[in-house]
Amino acid sequence: MATAHRTLTRSSRPIQRLGKRTLLLAVIAVVGLELATAPAAAAPGDAATAADAASLVAERGHELEVLTESFNEARENVEAQKAAASAAGAEVARAETQLVALSEAVAGVAQTAYTGRGLGTLQAFMTSGSPDEFLNRVAMLEAVAGHQNDVIDQVGAARAAAEAARRSADQAAVEAQEQVDAAAAKQALLQTEIAAYQAQYEALSAEEQEQADQAHGGRALDAPPPATVTANSEAAQIAVDTAMAQLGDPYVWAAAGPDSFDCSGLTQYAFAAAGIDLPHSSRMQATMGQAVGRADLQPGDLVYFYSPVSHIGIYIGGGKMVHASTFGEPVKVGSVDMAGYVGARRIV
């Protein structure tokens, strides 16, 4: 089984500028989360002890993860809206093509009637050699007339369908643009929140940072030898192997590889290697596939956390998962039983 492996280097403190990948946030929409109206979180400097400071930063990190996953979901919704607008445009083209074809057929019927080339009942009577031949010709005339009426009815229906398709396409385009505009207006807020969190994190001592990392992203565990992680299907195995190959890559909000990830970005990247398309959203991923009980977990299952869902990883067996846990921590192996566990889904 072919699995991509690569060697990556990273700085001792993977704090990266938000580059081109984050600029993609300019085309996402905001859904359900208004940080601007939320109460301000306490600063680490307000804490009575170092442990309290670490706890506050961990809490702030979780809030930012919730915000980021909402943006990720919104970005997926924008793509779906764009696809709907494109489909509506294609429907307009199809309806208009049908309308042109039927209109030409009606024009042909009208021309035949005007020039007298059609066969009338009297002419059929005068040219028929027998009563049976006359009746046959009359039946044919009635069938032709019925067909002409059907064509005219179809033109009316096609015209109505084309007009409805145009309205649908126009509305889809307007809604997509509204979402894009709303996201652009909120992008600066997200950038500001990330910068503020990074400053809070940097103000902690190394010990406090470690405490904050564990409080939010769980404790790092030793990664098992790759040969010992065996999934029940080829696709699940590829997803597990791909995720494990990213160990050590830095956590970056809204990133989906190949060199940095957030939680749902890592799972999306891993399953894409197996030919499985997942949305870049932990909430959306947590609704896919089939639900799996904690006791029935198998390598390759998605495990998700918190309510609403805002974190996700891939189970690798032995009570462990691989996940992009939190800022300041690289992609790592951790316990599936860390705080906030909600459930699991089997994708393949």
- Collect all residues with Cβ–Cβ distance below 8 Å to 284 and sequence separation of at least 6: 73, 76, 278
Q: Is 311 a catalytic site residue? A: yes
% of residues, the chain, pLDDT over 90: 34
For residue 280, the model assigns a pLDDT of 94
DSSP one-letter string for 58-105: HHHHHHHHHHHHHHHHHHHHHHHHHHHHHHHHHHHHHHHHHHHHHHHH
Please say if 62 is a catalytic residue.
Answer: no
Residue pair 6/249 in contact (Cβ under 8 Å)? The answer is no
Residue 127: pLDDT band with limits 50, 70, 90: low
Judge whether 104 and 184 are in contact, CB under 8 Å: no
Task: With beta carbons less than 8 A apart as the criterion, state whether 303 and 315 touch.
Answer: yes
Cα 157 to Cα 149: distance, rounded to the nearest angstrom: 12
Please return the burial class of 116, using the count of CB atoms within 10 Å of its CB with bins 0-12, 13-18 and 19+: exposed
Q: How confident is the model at residue 67 (pLDDT cuts 50, 70, 90)?
A: confident
Distance CA 316, CA 290 (A): 17
Residue 207 has pLDDT above 60, yes or no: yes
Q: What is the mean pLDDT of the chain?
A: 75
Q: 3-state class of 337 per DSSP? A: coil
Burial 284-293, CB ≥16 within 10 A → b, else e: bbbeebeebe
Mean pLDDT score, 332-341: 94
CATH superfamily for 219-348 is endopeptidase domain like (from Nostoc punctiforme) (3.90.1720.10)
Task: Name the residue among 64, 39, 32, 125 with its Cα closest to residue 252.
Answer: 64
The residue with tokens 């009426």 is 149
pLDDT digits (tens, 9 = 90+) for 215-253: 888 889 999 998 899 999 999 999 999 999 999 999 998
Average pLDDT over residues 19-27: 32
Question: What pLDDT, on the 0 to 100 scale, is given for residue 59?
Answer: 83
Question: What average pLDDT does this structure show over 157-164?
Answer: 75
For residue 209, the one-letter residue type is: Q
Active-site hit among 62, 216, 263, 280: 263
More confident residue, 117 or 243: 243
What is d(CA 228, CA 143) in angstroms, rounded to the nearest whole number?
A: 75
One-character DSSP codes across 203-221: HS-HHHHHHHHHHHH--EE
For the chain, what's the residue count?
348
Cα separation values, 73 from 285, 314, 329, 342, 346, Å: 10, 19, 23, 19, 20
Note if the bond before 258 is cis, omega within 30 degrees. Answer: yes
Domain ranges within the chain, ordered by starting residue: 18-217, 219-348
Question: Which tokens in the block code for residue 126?
Answer: 């005068």
Identify the bridge partners of residue 332 per DSSP, sorted by sequence position: 323
Which residue has tokens 């890592």?
A: 266
CB 251 within 8 A of CB 197: no
5 is catalytic: no
Residue 151 burial (C-beta neighbours within 10 Å; 0-12, 13-18, 19+): middle
Whether the pLDDT of residue 202 is over 80: the answer is yes
Tokens of 339: 């705080």
Average pLDDT over residues 151-161: 70
Alpha-carbon torsion angle 89, 94, 99, 105, nearest 10: 160
Between 174 and 133, residue with greater pLDDT = 174
18 residue type, one letter: L
- How far apart CA 311 and CA 286 sit, in angstroms, is 10
For residue 140, what pLDDT is reported? 58
The C-alpha atoms of residue 107 and residue 102 are separated, in whole angstroms, by 9
The predicted structure's pLDDT at residue 19: 33
Q: What is the identity of the amino acid at 117?
A: R
Six-digit token string for 101 = 């074809």
